[in-house]
Amino acid sequence: MTAPLTTPTQEGAPPPFDPAGVVDLFRTLDKALRAIQLYLPNNPSYQRAVDAARQAFAPIWDQADELRVVIADTRLVWSGVVVHEHREKGGDSLPWLLYKDGIRELTFLKGFEAAEELPALLQALAQSRRAQAHEDDLLTLLWEQGFSSVTYRYVELREPMPPIDAAVMRGDQAVPSGTILEPIKEAIAEAHEEISAMQEASGTPPGELPADVVKLSDFESSPYFLDHREIEYLRQEALREYRLDLRRQVVSALLDVLEYHANAAIRNEVADHLETMIGYLLSVGHYASVAYLLRETRAIATRSRNMGPAEQQRLVRIELRLNEPEVLARMFQSLEESPALPLSQDLADLFSYLPPASLPLLLAFQARSRHSGLRPVLATAAQQMAERSAAVLIGTIKDERGPVSVAAIRLAGITKAQGAIPVLAEIVAVAPATRVRLAAVTALVEIATPPAMSAVAMALEDADREIRLSAARALAARPHRPAVAMIEAYCKGPQLTVADRIERITAFECYGLHCGDAGVPWLSELLVGKGRLFARKVPSETRACAAIALGRVGTAAAQATLRSVANDADVVVRSAVGRALREGGRRR
């Protein structure tokens, strides 16, 4: 609640009660204000300071229903008594904090401290104390809070100046001595006297100014006398100047000195500065300039005629500075925490200078990253590293850290790394973790060469259902004739007798796509049997799987066997046979 202060408060009567409580109250409020500035709201010191301020109001409300103080520049006055004083204007002065923004009177109503208005008032005072010149003043901050238990009076500090007396402005009346116009009038008279003296000395006719006197008409103070093309040129040049990358300019200047200066000591000093610049540019997230610096130093090392082998090695060390694990870890963490990533192309340019040896660290960070925009960039950089060095990729596959190994295995599949097939086959055979073996099978399927598919066929003997199923589906999608023996062993093995329906169907489909006419006798034996007694011993679900496999074989012999049992009494078998006859060998 606000109201302009129109009349000063009269403080002639003695105070209604002992002012010691009021003095103690404002001393406590001043301490609480300092605590508000130092601590966060969840800090115990913050809470204790606010609680102490609340308790300081209790003795006041035992004797009055409101507390009104008048504010001067260095003191607070209550009922004619100074209850708080700070002789310096500025700094931590509470009176000056209120006074400088026009607050001249504060009134606290009973119960003010019980609500949340006390912390809100302290926060507004603290914010005003820290405010810059362009930010809201205290009056605005108080108005935003909408207090109901605090009223304040203020004076308007920006009142317009009163108009100049019209009598003074009339030219037919004398200007009173001592007014603000008197010095101006004297200065004009002196100027006229100087001009008259110059005219007499130079022989210039009256009414004309000497040639050496500067005339205002010689200058055009407005920019609009320029042609529109000139104005546009100035605008474009101003924009270009603002858009200049000063960091890039500094790096370019250092690189020019490095390449063309003949003094070896100066070149070494510049190389030190460039190494320092890499750390600085990484810390501020200017990755495009780092990539530019590395690209140019690599080019200078090969083309400059002033450099010997030792100096070329010095430039190589500049590039190696980026590849230190500590530097890379800090850079990756900074990218992860950044709310807005640099341009993807800038990051890609920078990551292209990372050596393949950085692949394990890159994959480890990619596995931990939760930044949706950063993960694709890291994946692209990792793929490029893997393509440059298969040896590093194979070594990373053997990494003892599970997430890194799995990421490297997936990368081997994406890059179709032929050299990784033996390592992946070994993982399929001996790796203890199911997810690692499954990732290896998936990578081998993506590589899809004959050696890779042979390794996939080995997974049919795995103890884990998911891995067997994944291998069978892969072999069904990409038939590999050399694996037919392993597929047949899988179908005839004891594991399939206890497998679920999905795995059995997938296994028989895979066998049917690989065996050809050579597998028809065994499948026919399962489906038809040698006699009625034998047929009853084969479960109907196994017979249905055999029918599906014969449908995948699709040869004339397989079709003849299917037609011979087209009217089988078992509805499950009859349905599977009908579907197999309709589909024939379409999936071959």
pLDDT in tens, 315-329: 777 777 777 777 777
- At residue 195, the pLDDT reads 74
Round to whole Å and give the CA distance between 505 and 491.
Answer: 10
Round to whole Å and give the CA distance between 140 and 148.
Answer: 16
pLDDT greater than 80 at residue 201: no
pLDDT greater than 50 at residue 529: yes
What distance lies between CA 201 and its chain's CA centroid?
A: 75
- At residue 207, the pLDDT reads 65
- Residue 370 CB contacts under 8 Å (≥ 6 apart), including other chains: 336
pLDDT greater than 80 at residue 273: yes
CATH architecture type of domain 416-478: Alpha Horseshoe (1.25)
pLDDT greater than 50 at residue 504: yes
Q: Which of 160-169, 316-325, 408-417 has the lowest mean pLDDT?
A: 160-169
- At residue 375, the pLDDT reads 80
What is the mean pLDDT of the segment spanning 134-160? 76
Look at the alpha carbons of 167, 169, 171, 175 in this order and tell me if their dihedral is positive or negative: positive
pLDDT greater than 60 at residue 435: yes
- At residue 222, the pLDDT reads 55
Q: Is 253 helix (H, G, I), strand (E, B) or coil?
A: helix
pLDDT greater than 50 at residue 226: yes
75-78 and 81-85 beta bridge pairing:
antiparallel
> What are 373's two structure tokens?
């925009």
- At residue 15, the pLDDT reads 85
**Is-contact 526 538, C-beta < 8 A?**
yes
pLDDT greater than 50 at residue 507: yes
Q: Higher confidence at residue 245 or residue 469?
A: 469
Round to whole Å and give the CA distance between 169 and 163.
Answer: 11
* 278-323 pLDDT, tens digit each: 777 777 777 777 787 888 887 887 777 777 777 777 777 777 777 7
Closest Cα partner for 503 from 539, 524, 472? 472
Fold of the domain spanning 481-588? Leucine-rich Repeat Variant (1.25.10)
* 38-64 pLDDT, tens digit each: 878 878 888 888 888 888 888 888 888
* 353-391 pLDDT, tens digit each: 777 777 888 888 778 877 777 788 788 888 888 888 888
- At residue 358, the pLDDT reads 78
pLDDT greater than 60 at residue 268: yes
What is the mean pLDDT of the segment spanning 209-233? 67
pLDDT greater than 60 at residue 164: no
Look at the alpha carbons of 470, 474, 477, 482 in this order and tell me if their dihedral is positive or negative: negative
Q: Which of 81-95, 208-222, 402-416 has the lowest mean pLDDT?
A: 208-222
Q: Give 192's pLDDT tier (boundaries 50, 70, 90).
A: confident
What is the mean pLDDT of the segment spanning 120-138? 81
pLDDT greater than 50 at residue 162: no
Q: Higher confidence at residue 116 or residue 183?
A: 116
Q: Give 94's pLDDT tier (boundaries 50, 70, 90).
A: confident
* 253-265 pLDDT, tens digit each: 888 888 787 787 8
pLDDT greater than 50 at residue 1: no
Round to whole Å and give the CA distance between 58 and 474.
Answer: 81
pLDDT greater than 80 at residue 551: yes
pLDDT greater than 80 at residue 102: yes
Q: Which of 44-48, 133-137, 183-187, 326-330 has the lowest mean pLDDT?
A: 183-187
pLDDT greater than 60 at residue 21: yes
pLDDT greater than 50 at residue 170: no
Average pLDDT along the chain: 78
Burial of 295 (0-12, 13-18, 19+ CB in 10 A): middle
Q: Give 3's pLDDT tier (boundaries 50, 70, 90).
A: very low
Count CA atoms closer than 13 A to 424's CA, side-chain side. Answer: 34
- At residue 359, the pLDDT reads 82
Q: Give 5's pLDDT tier (boundaries 50, 70, 90).
A: very low
What is the mean pLDDT of the segment spanning 396-417? 82
- At residue 209, the pLDDT reads 66
Q: Give 437's pLDDT tier (boundaries 50, 70, 90).
A: confident
Element at 206 (helix H, strand E)? none
Q: Give 70's pLDDT tier (boundaries 50, 70, 90).
A: very high
- At residue 13, the pLDDT reads 67
Q: Which of 100-109, 187-196, 511-520 has the lowest mean pLDDT?
A: 187-196
Round to whole Å and give the CA distance between 566 and 564.
Answer: 6
Q: Which residue has the tokens 């003094």?
A: 263
What is the mean pLDDT of the segment spanning 408-421? 86
Q: Is 105 helix (H, G, I), strand (E, B) or coil?
A: strand
- At residue 585, the pLDDT reads 47
Round to whole Å and give the CA distance between 379 and 374.
Answer: 9
